[in-house]
């Protein structure tokens, strides 16, 4: 057993080429230098302004960046440096993506077939039984099996996605922006789910822009800005105002509940 954390990301940078109207080429640097570690049993929140390229981190970790993207930096898993191809190979088993939106389900395939396919991919024997059980376990009976994703409620979708993501019993779960647009109670429920996954000795990376919500469940919070990790803090540091980094402090104080003001060093 190595002492290194399960996931260790160092100086991860991603850029790619885009074309504007008039075909002006520009190179967009989406991630400029991300550092992040997460270990088993830990829920680490990655917080930053929307559109800061946080989702790309999730895709990079799973080795699914679009072909025109250029990646640099290192991603270690269990202490071993994995290149994108190796990460792709582990996706679905050791590494899992947990999305929350209905668009992540195949719109033209009934729910059960998708879950069953996830079971097959995870290498489980008797995929039919496993898939049925996984849905049953999350309170989804046979009545939803033949439904299409658009016929499910938001909560049901989330449970189906969770069932699929966890099918391979992954060591690491990356949850990508699970909460936007949800009412407060739903946000709380979704995050509580994630906390439970972490508590079952898995590493969870929660990517979000909602600092206040993240603080309630995370063990550590990684703050990023302009595609770069700027700070890492524990939730307690926020409440006790022991924040060292000015941006983190500015972010904290700008929250409506914490003074709603601009600190001079923002």
Partner 1 sequence: MLTAGSAARPVVAAVVARTARLVLLLTAVAVASFVLMVNSPVDPVAAYVGADVASLGPAQRALIAQRWGLDDPAHERFLSWFGNLLGGDFGFSLTFNRPVLEVIGDKFLASLALMALAWLLSGVLGFGLGLVAGVRRGWFADRAITWLSYALASAPTFWVGLLLLYVFAVSLNWAPVCCAVPIGVPADEVGLGDRLAHLALPAITLSVVGIAPVVLHTRQAVVDALASDHVAFARAQGERGVGLVLHRVVRNAAAPALLLQFGSLGELFGGSVLAEQVFSYPGLGAATTTAALGQDVPLLLGIALFTTVLVFAGNLVGDRVHALLDPRSRLVDLRGTR
Partner 2 sequence: MTALVPPAVGRIDRRTRTLVLLGVSAAVVLGVLVAGSWAQDAAQTTSLGERNSAPSAGHWFGTDWLGRDVLARVLSGLRMSLVVGTTAAAISAVVALVLACAATVGGPKVDAVVGWLVDLFMALPHLVLLLMLAFALGGGTDAVIVAVAVTHWPHLTRVLRGQAKQVVNSDYATVAVQLGRSRWWVAREHVAGHLAGHFLVGLILLFPHAILHEAALSFLGLGVDPAEPSTGILLAESMRFLSAGAWWLAVLPGLCLLLLVKVVDGIGENLRSLLNPRSHHL
Partner 3 sequence: MTLRADDVWFRYSRKSPWVVAGVSLSVEPGEVVGLHGPSGAGKSTLGRVLSGSLHPHRGEVSVDGRPPRPGRGTANPVQLVAQHAHLALDPLWKVRRSLAETGAADSALDALDPALAPPALLDRFPHEISGGEAQRVNLGRALLANPRFLVADEVTASLDPISQVELWGLISAAVDARGIGVLTISHDRPLLDVVAHRVLDFRELVRTPA
| Residues found near partner 3 in the complex (CB under 8 A) | 20, 48-51, 181, 183, 209, 211-212, 250-251, 254-257, 260-262, 266
**Interface residue with partner 1, options 34, 47, 167, 224 (CB under 8 A):** 167
Smaller CB distance to partner 2: residue 25 or 244?
Answer: 25
Chosen from partner 2, partner 3, partner 1, none, partner binding at 164 (C-beta under 5 to 8 Å by type): partner 1
Smaller CB distance to partner 3: residue 88 or 188?
Answer: 188
Chosen from partner 3, partner 2, partner 1, none, partner binding at 32 (C-beta under 5 to 8 Å by type): none
Chosen from partner 3, partner 2, partner 1, none, partner binding at 18 (C-beta under 5 to 8 Å by type): partner 2
110-115 long-range Cβ contacts below 8 angstroms, 24+ apart: 110/145, 110/146, 110/147, 110/148, 111/135, 111/144, 111/145, 111/146, 111/147, 111/148, 111/149, 111/152, 111/160, 112/144, 112/145, 112/146, 114/160, 114/164, 115/160, 115/163, 115/164, 115/167
At residue 236, φ and ψ (nearest 5 deg) are -60, -35
Q: Is 223 helix (H, G, I), strand (E, B) or coil?
A: strand
25 binds partner 2 (CB under 8 A): yes
**Interface residue with partner 1, options 17, 72, 74, 151 (CB under 8 A):** 151
């Amino acid at each position: 057993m190595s002492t290194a954390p399960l996931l260790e990301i160092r100086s991860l940078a991603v850029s790619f080429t885009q074309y504007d109207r008039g075909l002006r080429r520009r190179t967009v640097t989406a991630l400029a230098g991300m550092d992040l570690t997460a270990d088993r049993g830990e829920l680490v929140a990655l917080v930053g302004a929307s559109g800061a390229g946080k989702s790309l981190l999730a895709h990079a970790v799973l080795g699914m960046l679009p072909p025109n993207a250029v990646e640099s930096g290192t991603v270690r898993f269990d202490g071993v440096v994995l290149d994108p191809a190796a990460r792709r190979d582990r996706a679905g088993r050791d590494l899992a993506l947990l999305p929350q939106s209905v668009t992540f389900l195949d719109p033209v395939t009934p729910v059960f077939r998708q879950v069953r396919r996830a079971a097959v991919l995870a290498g489980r024997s008797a995929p039919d039984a496993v898939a049925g059980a996984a849905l049953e376990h999350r309170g989804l009976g046979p009545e939803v099996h033949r439904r299409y994703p658009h016929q499910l409620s938001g909560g049901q979708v989330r449970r189906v996605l969770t069932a699929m993501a966890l099918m391979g019993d992954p060591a690491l779960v990356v949850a990508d922006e699970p909460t936007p647009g949800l009412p407060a109670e739903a946000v709380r429920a979704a995050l509580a789910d994630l906390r439970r996954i972490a508590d079952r000795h898995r590493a969870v990376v929660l990517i979000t822009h909602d600092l206040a919500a993240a603080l309630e469940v995370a063990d550590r919070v990684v703050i990023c800005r302009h595609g770069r990790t700027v700070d890492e803090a524990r939730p307690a540091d926020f409440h006790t105002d022991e924040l060292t980094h000015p941006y983190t402090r500015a972010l904290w104080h700008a929250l409506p509940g914490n003074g709603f003001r601009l600190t001079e060093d923002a």
